[in-house]
Amino acid sequence: MPWPPKEAYGSLDAMLHAWDLEIPAAKALQAELAPQVRVEPLRSPPKVVAGVDIAFDKPSGRLFAAAVAFRLDPLEQIAAVSVCRPIPFPYVPGYLSFREAPAILAALEALPVSFDALLVDGQGLAHPRRFGLACHVGLWIDRPTVGCAKSRLIGEHEEPGIERGSTAILRKGDDRIGTVLRTRTNVRPLFVSPGHRIDFAGSIELTLRCTAGYRMPEPTRQADRLAAAAKREGLAASESAGG
């Protein structure tokens, strides 16, 4: 199966070299790729949902990316992997994908099972150029992808109700860019926005279906934990090795 889809970018080679860019070039690339993002209803209900996240170790300049797959109905973990890579890009608001996407893609390629949808720890459409981390990764894997961020990057919104499931529209000017979704009663809401191949309603529904007692959806929450664990043992391993 042809993955990643080079057709979506014109040239896979160009995209492979597009990870190492200066801010101005990265900004231009986002503007060029944003029109490729498709906000549309899910074509078929996802059976397997994957989640990804990263743990950083500034001292060693390394990062640990994890990908965890969950089957729905009932929600249960079926696979998990982690990879180690050098940190490729500094954290710059608006350019998170250039720091995290390469490693996320590597982790997803290492996942031993196929997945129908992906949950990312960051914004999707709710981005200055409508091209957050979830859009970048979603376009690459060409599968339904949702951005589930813990805080706001841009946009205005009202406060959603305190009950789990309550929502408030996240907007920029007259355009809707996402949803402020309460995944747990009386707990800070999440900022959910489409990454690719899914719409606002679908991103809300999928996020809620993947939530089990915690603020963060399970795929992303477990990926966060695995990345942190990989970091701990990764550092311990390099220490005992003398590095």
Binding residues for DNA (CB under 7 A): 53-58, 91, 93-97, 121-123, 127, 132-133, 147, 149-153, 186, 224, 228, 231
* Residue 219 in the binding site for Mg ion (CB under 5 A): no
Q: For the purposes of burial, counting CB atoms within 10 Å of the CB of 163, is it exposed (0-12), middle (13-18) or buried (19 or more)?
A: exposed
Q: Is 121 in the site for Mg ion (CB under 5 A)?
A: yes
Phi and psi at residue 205, in whole multiples of 5°? -60, -45
Q: x/- string (CB under 5 A) for Mg ion, residues 133-172?
A: ----------------------------------------
Is residue 220 within 8 A of residue 191, CB to CB? The reply is no
Report yes or no: 144 and 116 within 8 Å, Cβ to Cβ: yes
* 218 binds Mg ion per the rule CB under 5 A: no
Virtual CA dihedral for 233, 229, 124, 219, nearest 10 degrees? 140
Judged by CB under 5 A, the chain residues 1 through 60 that form the site for Mg ion are 53
Q: Residue 160 is which amino acid?
A: P
Residue closer to Mg ion by CB (options 42, 228) is: 228
Residue nearest Mg ion, Cβ-based: 121
Q: 151 is in the binding site of which of DNA, Mg ion, none (Cβ under 5 to 8 A by kind)?
A: DNA
**Residue 123 binds which entry of DNA, Mg ion, none, CB below 5-8 Å type-dependent:** DNA
Look up residue 233 and give its two tokens: 């043992």
Token pair recorded at residue 36? 């490729």
Binding site for Mg ion (CB under 5 A): 53, 121
